[in-house]
């Protein structure tokens, strides 16, 4: 990840280069072709990982348009669907909200804001112990890949004064 190639001009670009190389690596790692729409969609979701995590088709499209890319929503939809089929992305629908998409490269769970619908990814290893306990209590074989969906309020939706307990209990 922290590749330190010292070529002149490396530091001038914005951080989007990181996300694009991350997108490239994701495609190459699975032997998939790096088409422009795939790179654009994956870069957008790679960037979203530090914020919202998952995005809807229209949000992906909007961000691409804002970044100056000429891409229509149908292309975004087709590209995302292909990437889901290929296992690079995964789809998540919670309740009756619009389906969102995120990178499928690492096992993770999802925390959903019940007010604004924002979906944040939670690395699976943080909940491995909880999952193990849950497995003991049930006959279910729970896998990291299956993922849990947690509900709560995202930082933006939490009332400013309330000292509510954090969304995730850290031991």
- Binding site, annotated residues for Zn(2+): 113, 116, 154, 157
Pick out residues in 71-100 that bind Zn ion (CB under 5 A).
Answer: none
Q: For Zn ion, how many residues bind (rule: CB under 5 A)? A: 8
Residue 101: CB minimum distance to Zn ion, A: 8
Say how far apart CA 168 and CA 86 lie, in whole Å.
31
**Nearest 5°: CA angle at 45, between 7 and 94?**
165
Q: Is 27 in the site for Zn ion (CB under 5 A)?
A: no
Instruction: Among 132, 146, 157, 168, indicate the residue that binds Zn ion (CB under 5 A).
Output: 157
Say how far apart CA 119 and CA 52 lie, in whole Å.
6
With contact defined as beta carbons under 8 Å apart, do 92 and 99 qualify? yes
**Please, what's the b/e burial string for 55-67 (b: 16 or more CB within 10 A of its CB; e: otherwise)?**
bbbebbbebbeee
Q: Which is nearer to Zn ion, 40 or 119 (CB)?
A: 119
Pick out residues in 101-130 that bind Zn ion (CB under 5 A).
Answer: 102, 113, 115-116, 118, 121
Q: Is 154 in the site for Zn ion (CB under 5 A)?
A: yes
Which positions touch Zn ion (CB under 5 A)? 102, 113, 115-116, 118, 121, 154, 157
């Amino acid at each position: 990840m922290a590749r330190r190639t010292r070529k002149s001009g490396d530091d001038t670009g914005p951080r989007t280069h990181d996300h694009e190389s991350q997108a490239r690596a994701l495609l190459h790692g699975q032997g998939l072709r790096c088409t422009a729409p795939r790179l654009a969609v994956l870069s957008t979701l790679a960037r979203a990982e530090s914020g919202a995590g998952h995005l809807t088709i229209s949000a992906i499209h909007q961000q691409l348009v804002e970044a100056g890319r000429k891409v229509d929503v149908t292309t975004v939809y087709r590209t995302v669907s292909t990437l889901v089929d290929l296992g690079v992305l995964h789809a998540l629908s919670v309740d009756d909200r619009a389906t969102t998409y995120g990178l499928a490269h690492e096992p993770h769970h999802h925390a959903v804001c019940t007010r604004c619908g924002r979906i944040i990814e939670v690395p699976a290893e943080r909940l491995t112990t909880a999952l193990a306990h849950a497995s003991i209590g049930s006959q279910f074989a729970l896998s990291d890949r299956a993922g849990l969906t947690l509900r709560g309020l995202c930082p933006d939706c939490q009332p400013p004064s309330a000292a509510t307990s954090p969304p995730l209990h850290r031991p």
